[in-house]
Amino acid sequence: MTKTKHEKPPRRVTMTDVARLAGCSQATVSFVLNNATGVKISAETRGKVIEAARSLGYGAASLIHRPLLKNIRSGSIGFLCDQLATSPEAVNAIEGARQACWEEGVTILVAQSMGNSDMEKKAVETMLRGGIDGLIYMTIFTRQVTPPEFLHDLPVPIVLLNCFSADHSFPSVVPDETAGGFDATNALIRLGHRRIATIIGEPFMSATQDRLKGYRKALAKAGIAYDADLVAEGNWSPTSGFEATQRFLALKERPTAFFCQNDRMASGCYNALRDAGLNIPQDVSVIGYDDDELCRHVRPQLSTLILPHRAMGAWAIGQLETMTPRTAQTYPLTKMDCNLIERASLAGTGQAVPAR
């Protein structure tokens, strides 16, 4: 297994940062920096956006590396995903791939298959007729897959994104969910919390299992006994987060902190805590997962872990650049860190402990 660790680099400058400095919307920044046609933007606004981007080092300070794509000759790469509309992860991965090759004039051709094997094959055949030089194969849920047989016979290199195969016949990249669960729980432990409840997602999912594994590892490392009463099953929805929190608050000794395995369940947790007359973070600390847009709109803003799908998309482009068409070899599974974003939903108990 290859571990890609972002060791506290300077925070990645985003379009949101540029928009804030330039005093305009993120959409305007995107239009200006991508030289969009058919959009009327004043010269003054364009100048402000460009100056803001330069002063912040937008692009240069990005975690996304832009390689020189010498081996991508046709100017196009295929991107096949089972689902596009269920969550922002697919869009983020596509955007990461786009940013990694945009300056070289490479086009990302995207198709959705809904997991249908016939549609997968048809979509890839259409992409091949369009002359793609590589294919990124993505699943929306992190999991082990059995790649369709036809992938092994394609004349272009292939990368698996957010999934992997048992035989490791393709380069693959996934989030390091176990490390993410550990980091979320450890952040609460460092603040002095000992009774940490966790609301997990659907238990059959790999992300759920690995985030729970990280939670348990952090507790064990801190010498805190695992308590099954502090683990509740949710289904990723706000309602399940609300109901699980109510059950926790009914315990004789209630938790002082909550680790919710996604931000939507955390929003339900917020509502249950407020209904109980508790203040965040003065009475209870809460941390989520995914860095959903809602994190910045709830009050207090929600601390969370960010899924690295943009960086994974860029990584996939870099792999395609260095690969040759199908050769008989195996590849290590690459895992990328889910970096912690601390906002206003965390507070110490007065018994904070040093970082371990």
For the chain, the domains span: 9-56, 76-175+310-331, 177-306
The rounded distance, in Å, linking the Cα atoms of 50 and 67 is: 23
Q: Answer yes or no: are the C-beta atoms of 209 and 235 closer than 8 Å.
A: no
Residue 50: what pLDDT? 77
pLDDT tens profile 174-214: 999 999 999 999 999 999 999 999 999 999 999 999 999 99
Backbone phi and psi for residue 340, each to the nearest 5 degrees, phi listed first:
-80, 130
| Interaxial angle between packed helices 15-22 and 43-56, expressed in degrees from 0 to 180 and rounded to the nearest 10 | 130
Can you name the CATH fold of 177-306?
Rossmann fold (3.40.50)
The proportion of the chain whose per-residue pLDDT surpasses 90, expressed as a percent, equals 65
Please report, rounded to a whole number, the percentage of residues in the chain having pLDDT higher than 70.
87
- Tell whether the model's pLDDT for residue 69 goes beyond 80: no
Spatial contact of 162 and 137, defined as CB atoms under 8 Å apart: no
Assign domain 9-56 to its CATH architecture: Orthogonal Bundle (1.10)
DSSP 356: -
Q: How confident is residue 356, by pLDDT bands cut at 50, 70 and 90?
A: very low
Phi/psi at 51 (nearest 5 deg)?
A: -65, -40
Q: Per residue in 298-320, pLDDT tens? A: 999 999 999 999 999 999 999 99
pLDDT in tens, 17-28: 788 888 887 777
CATH superfamily assigned to domain 76-175+310-331: Response regulator (3.40.50.2300)
For 105-126, write each residue's pLDDT tens digit: 889 999 999 989 999 999 999 9
**Residue 65 clears pLDDT 60, i.e. is over it:** no
Q: What pLDDT is stored for residue 322 in this prediction? A: 82
pLDDT at position 60 over 60: no
- Ranking 87-91, 244-248, 256-260 by mean pLDDT, the lowest is 87-91
User: d(Cα 214, Cα 107) in Å, to the nearest integer?
Assistant: 38
Question: Is 10's pLDDT higher than 60?
Answer: no
User: Cα–Cα distances in Å, from 82 out to 14, 116, 138, 168, 294?
Assistant: 27, 8, 7, 20, 25
Element (H, E) at 257: strand 257-260
177-306 matches 76-175+310-331 in CATH topology: yes
